[in-house]
Amino acid sequence: MKVAIVKYNAGNTTSVANALARLGIDAIISDDAEVVSSADRVIFPGVGEASTAMDHLRAQGLVEIIKSLRQPVLGICLGMQLLCESSEENGADCLRIIPYRVKRFSSESVKVPHVGWNTVYGFSSPLFERIDEGEHFYFVHGYFVEVGDKTTATCSYDHRFSAAIQYENFHAVQFHPEKSGIAGQLILENFLRL
């Protein structure tokens, strides 16, 4: 199986590649349109800032490539947020694949960013097969995706937000499966089995 990890000047690609290597997958980290579009599975990870990341995607000619993908795609953290319509992070105009907005945590009752382990509930995606409701996953984010009919799992941090979303072949998680132990490994295995 050919797995491509989208390279777009956002961090965490190496951690994702290492997690896949533990599963016996030698993934390719690339910003080459042909490599990305011809892969059997595409992972769109990211740690960084939304508007800068979108600028890089546009400069590399990857916006239309990502939007045209028909194979299973997994967005992780910033990658999930960029699949949405827009982000409050510096007013970023995102990929507009999933019709949700990304908002900033603004409560004074919790620390921002949301960093650490938190429970995830309401699984309605094949990504969560063999994973118990209320499992803990590792989060690092200051912005969140609103909850709606594309939400496939939720988490609470001051209020509920989308821990996972899905639209057609695009799956995404706000947490980091590559940093979430056995449960995170199962997320990656389930994605590869889609």
What residues are annotated to the active site?
77, 176, 178
Listed residue (190, 79, 83, 187) closest to 137, CA to CA: 187
The token pair at 173 is 């998680």
Element (H or E) spanning 68, and its range?
Answer: helix 63-68
Roughly how many angstroms between the first and final C-alpha of the chain, as a whole number?
A: 12
CA-to-CA separations, 70 to 12, 73, 90, 150, 185, in angstroms, rounded: 24, 8, 30, 18, 24
Listed residue (171, 193, 170, 173) closest to 184, CA to CA: 173
- Distance, CA of 45 to CA of 76 (rounded, Å): 4
- Distance, CA of 90 to CA of 43 (rounded, Å): 24
- Distance, CA of 43 to CA of 153 (rounded, Å): 19
